[in-house]
Amino acid sequence: MSEACSVIILAGGFGRRLGRDKATAVAGELPLLHWSALAASQISDDIVVARRPDQQLPPLDGVDWREVVDHRHDRGPLAGLEAALPLIAHELAVAVACDMPLLRYELLRAVADACAGVEIAMPYLDGVAQPLLAAYRASVATHATRLLDEGDGRLRSLLPLVEHRLLHDAELRRVDPELESFININRPEDLTRVERILRSRTRLGSLTNS
């Protein structure tokens, strides 16, 4: 039986390369934040969104979340994780970025399940750890605080400090064959690419249901 988990959506990025707030940028007629929240709602009854103090988030009908404000100005996603982990309802959380509109809930569940017996479970693709779609236990918060206090804002810096498991390509492709969950939005051209994929899915769904 799968362990209950929370989901933390890290929404506080400024989206400088995109030229707009990532959480409210629209793809497939929905704000990017809503795609992450919809996937999260399929695996968890507890969604926490970490945001900047000046950020206004669009509500989503049918999905409830709690908001936590990251008060470490411009210190990146580790600061959002530090703010959110103490507030999660479960002992385990999957943290995701708000700019992953192709996120599959099956992958979220697989990453959470991989955290059994360790403090972090993190995908590892093409030789690079993927901390913005990873599972963290609440106990990791103290390590996050220490790193930030020391001036290190990198999520990957948590790995040497705790027992962890890395998830490789083959494991991840069992639930997401094309690894589309990891496609994120950094630049306007990324948004255009995702729009094409979403339109293609909509057309395919229409043909399948006709």
pTM of structure: 0.92
SS3 of 193, please?
helix
Q: List residues bridging with 165 in a β-sheet.
A: 121
- pLDDT value, residue 72: 83
For residue 33, give the nearest of 82, 83, 84, 103 by alpha carbon: 103
CB atoms under 10 Å from CB of 33, counted, come to 25
CB 96 within 8 A of CB 36: yes
What's the pLDDT band for 207 if we cut at 50, 70, 90? very low
pLDDT tens, 137-190?
999 999 999 999 999 999 999 999 999 999 999 999 999 999 999 998 888 899
SS3 of 76, please?
coil
Residue ranges of domains in the chain:
6-209
For residue 158, give the nearest of 181, 139, 182, 184 by alpha carbon: 139
Q: What is the DSSP string of 84-147?
A: HGGG-SSSEEEEEES--TT--HHHHHHHHHTTTTSSEEEEEETTEE-TTEEEEETTHHHHHHHH
- pLDDT value, residue 77: 93
What's the pLDDT band for 28 if we cut at 50, 70, 90? confident
CB 28 within 8 A of CB 101: yes
Return the CATH fold of 6-209.
Spore Coat Polysaccharide Biosynthesis Protein SpsA; Chain A (3.90.550)
What mean pLDDT do residues 3-28 have?
84
